[in-house]
Amino acid sequence: MINRYFYFSIAMCMLINTMMFVPSILLTYRHEGAVPALALAVPIGVGFAMLFAKSLSRHPGTGIPGIMRPLPAVLRVPLLLYLGLMWFVAGGIVVYAFSDLTQRFVLPDTRLQLLLLLYGSAVAWCASRSSRTVLYVMEIMLTVSVPLIAFVLYKTIANEYFSWLAVWDTVSDHAFDRPSFTALCAATYVYTGYINMAAFNRVFDQKLSTRYWWAIGMAGFGVLLTSFLIPIGLHGTVGVTDYVYVWVTTADAIRAEYGFVERIMFVYLLLFLGLTLVFGSVTWHVGAELLKGAFPGNDAADRPSAVSLLICFGLLAIMIVAAYKTNVKELSAFAEGRLKLRFVSEAAFVLLVAFLARRRRT
């Protein structure tokens, strides 16, 4: 397998960040340290990605369950269970958010739980396929999505009502504020796609290349700037936090006068339908592989797995039951807390993998 999938995985997380409430969190802290947090996220995110990739290169063809085998079972098993559940939660947040979004803007008479069942079933089935199949689907989806995303960004920036003054005021007035930890945790999420190599590294037949680390940094910083500043340019510095799904409202504020679809929002929703299903499939696939790796007797063969399918549907059932007790504001608060936990856990996880790689070398 060519290691371009390392970059594709990072790009997928960059594009899905609006479904993880990253722009909403950054905009909430726009006057409290979000601007410097964007700049600080670049070296931290790129540094973690490079360290993790170099560490995995010491273990070619081996996933994280295999890399952690030297650890005592009393440490390895709980750690793999925790990591697997963290991956499932990430995919679950995105699937829940898009189900809620579909109900609000497209199918208001459809029950949220039914949408969760439909989307979650598709994600669970795809997540139970082989790692190579999941990677191929991710590649195809990204190839289709990037031109559409570029079109949406062009239409928003070229909008006659876009206020560059509001953007300038936000950046210039708060560029030297003390960085917000919450905003930093949210901003670094755009780089977190490299962590999916925890499972996919086993199907790579060559070492991960970090030659284009500068492209990761530039692309991530560009995504952060557009996700954060474009809503401010269209909605202003005050009203931008009045929306739960700020980027859906932003897309709905522009029109394609001569296109076959006038409202850009429908292009945005169609685009993120595909990204949501692919992101959910990738995260649930990685989560299932880590959960299986915590127990003996699960081989690492790259093929469709009935065990993975059962795990995914079991956690989907829990998510559907939880949907009866939660709403989107509670989900947003949960996502913010999860991003903080992810940042700390990811830093510790990367350092652990680096330690195991160094131990193997010596």
pLDDT in tens, 97-126: 999 999 988 888 999 999 999 999 999 999
For position 38, what pLDDT does the model report? Answer: 94
User: What letter represents residue 191's amino acid?
Assistant: Y
For position 258, what pLDDT does the model report? Answer: 64
User: Residue 58 is inside which H or E element, if any?
Assistant: none
Domains in the chain: boundaries: 4-361
Say which CATH superfamily domain 4-361 falls into: Amino acid/polyamine transporter I (1.20.1740.10)
For position 302, what pLDDT does the model report? Answer: 63
For position 185, what pLDDT does the model report? Answer: 94
For position 20, what pLDDT does the model report? Answer: 75
Q: Which residues of the chain have pLDDT under 70?
A: 1-2, 258-260, 297-303, 360-362
Cα 202 from Cα 1, distance rounded (Å): 10
Sign of CA dihedral 5, 227, 27, 330: negative
For position 298, what pLDDT does the model report? Answer: 60
- Residue 213 tokens read as 């680390």
At residue 263, φ and ψ (nearest 5 deg) are -85, 115
- Residue 275 tokens read as 């990204």
For the entire predicted model, the pTM comes to 0.93
pLDDT in tens, 124-181: 999 999 888 999 999 999 998 888 888 888 888 888 888 899 999 999 888 889 999 9
At residue 255, φ and ψ (nearest 5 deg) are -130, 150
For position 46, what pLDDT does the model report? Answer: 94
Helices in the chain by DSSP H: which ranges?
A: 4-15, 22-28, 34-56, 64-67, 73-105, 112-127, 131-157, 164-174, 181-187, 197-200, 213-239, 246-252, 264-293, 306-323, 328-361
For position 334, what pLDDT does the model report? Answer: 92
